[in-house]
């Protein structure tokens, strides 16, 4: 059988003849061959290691594979860190806000359940008056001062035995001021006391009806208005005519 017949037989079988120059094998381009060895992939530059997949191919710049072989987006990493940072800040702010709120509520609760001092000491009354800028420390601590005597009277002698208020109390302060006037004006020498320094409410520290000769009815002392709060202190003419001092 000649060569032509051999070639035709080979073509029909689909197998090229070794002598056919058209079907002569050529070595493949090495640049097109993927790296199949893991050792070869590991020998690449460490700078590019994160871009090399397990089978040796180069991954895209935006895509990596985790340890499970699942595709992951590299751009998602900073976004996840940003969300985690925002979450941490949010938790910190919430914790701080709750702590401040609990502190405020605790303070309010303590004030609500706090009670006046039933049996105050002299220093308690002095501190109370100083905290409201009613008298000076020097006058309140000087034993012969009318202010000191008035404060001591509230603690030791006042028949009403009033508790010391927690906050500013107008009637309590008025009682102190009236006692101060009593000691400053030598009240012990008054011939008529008009209920001063008694255990009555300060609105009753007056004598609304007292007749003296042809003068008619005189009023004097501490007078309260319709609101029940002290409004007028009338001691001038009343003291002069009644010989308070």
Last residue of a domain, one of 40, 57, 72: 72
Query: pLDDT value at position 82?
Result: 67
Tell me what the mean pLDDT of segment 126-148 comes to: 94
Spatial distance between the Cα atoms of 20 and 70, rounded to a whole number of angstroms: 48
Give the HSE-up count for residue 230: Cα atoms under 13 Å, Cβ half-sphere: 22
**188-218, pLDDT tens digit by residue?**
887 777 889 999 999 889 876 544 444 545 5
Question: What pTM does this model have?
Answer: 0.51
Spatial distance between the Cα atoms of 93 and 96, rounded to a whole number of angstroms: 5
Beta-carbon neighbour count of residue 62 at 10 Å? 9
- Note whether 236 and 175 are same-domain residues: yes
- Note whether 11 and 109 are same-domain residues: no
Is residue 233 within 8 Å of residue 181, measured between CB atoms? Answer: yes
Last residue of a domain, one of 39, 54, 72: 72
What residue numbers bound the domain in which 107 lies? Answer: 75-114
Length of the chain: 245
Residue with tokens 């319709």: 226
- Note whether 23 and 90 are same-domain residues: no
pLDDT class for 228, splitting at 50, 70, 90? confident
Spatial distance between the Cα atoms of 169 and 177, rounded to a whole number of angstroms: 12
Burial 48-61 (b: 16+ CB within 10 A, else e): eeebbbeebeebee
187 versus 36: the higher-pLDDT residue is 187
**1-33, pLDDT tens digit by residue?**
555 554 455 445 554 444 444 444 444 454 444
- Note whether 132 and 100 are same-domain residues: no
Cα dist from 115 to 16, 119, 165, whole Å: 112, 12, 8
- Note whether 68 and 84 are same-domain residues: no
Portion of the chain with pLDDT greater than 70, in percent: 47
Print the SS3 string covering 141-199.
HCCCCHHHHHHHHHHHCCCCCCCECCCCCHHHHHHHHHHHHHHHCCHHHCCCCCCCCCC
Spatial distance between the Cα atoms of 145 and 74, rounded to a whole number of angstroms: 84
- Note whether 131 and 108 are same-domain residues: no
User: Which regions of the chain does DSSP assign to beta strands (E)?
Assistant: 63-65, 71-73, 206-211, 217-224, 230-234
pLDDT class for 164, splitting at 50, 70, 90? very high
- Note whether 184 and 142 are same-domain residues: yes
- Note whether 59 and 110 are same-domain residues: no
Last residue of a domain, one of 56, 91, 114: 114
- Note whether 107 and 126 are same-domain residues: no
- Note whether 67 and 79 are same-domain residues: no
Task: Name which of 193, 163, 165 is nearest 179 in CA terms.
Answer: 193
Portion of the chain with pLDDT greater than 90, in percent: 29
Alpha-carbon dihedral angle through residues 171, 177, 178, 179, given to the nearest 10 degrees: 110
What total number of domains does the chain contain?
3
Query: pLDDT value at position 104?
Result: 64
Tell me what the mean pLDDT of segment 145-156 comes to: 96
- Note whether 138 and 209 are same-domain residues: yes
- Note whether 211 and 176 are same-domain residues: yes
- Please give the span between the terminal C-alpha atoms of the chain, in angstroms, as a whole number: 164
Q: Cα 72 vs. chain centroid, distance in angstroms?
A: 43
């Amino acid at each position: 059988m000649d060569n032509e017949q051999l070639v035709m037989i080979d073509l029909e079988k689909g197998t090229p003849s070794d002598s056919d120059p058209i079907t002569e094998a050529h070595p493949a381009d090495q640049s097109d061959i993927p790296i199949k060895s893991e050792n070869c992939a590991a020998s690449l530059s460490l700078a590019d290691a994160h871009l090399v997949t397990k089978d040796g191919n180069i991954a895209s710049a935006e895509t990596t594979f985790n340890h499970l072989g699942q595709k992951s987006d590299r751009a998602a990493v900073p976004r996840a860190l940003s969300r985690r940072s925002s979450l941490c800040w949010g938790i910190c702010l919430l914790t701080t806000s709750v702590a401040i709120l609990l502190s405020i509520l605790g303070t309010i609760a303590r004030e609500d359940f706090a009670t006046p001092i039933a049996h105050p000491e002299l220093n308690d009354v002095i501190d109370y008056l100083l905290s409201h800028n009613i008298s000076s420390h020097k006058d309140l601590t000087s034993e012969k001062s009318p202010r000191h005597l008035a404060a001591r009277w509230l603690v030791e002698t006042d028949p009403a035995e009033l508790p010391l208020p927690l906050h500013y109390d107008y009637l309590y302060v008025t009682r102190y001021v009236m006692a101060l006037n009593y000691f400053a004006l030598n009240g012990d020498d008054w011939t008529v006391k008009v209920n001063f320094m008694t255990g009555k409410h300060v609105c009753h520290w007056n004598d609304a009806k007292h007749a003296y000769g042809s003068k008619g009815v005189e009023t004097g002392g501490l007078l309260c208005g319709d609101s029940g709060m002290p409004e007028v202190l009338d001691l001038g003419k009343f003291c002069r005519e009644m010989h308070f001092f």
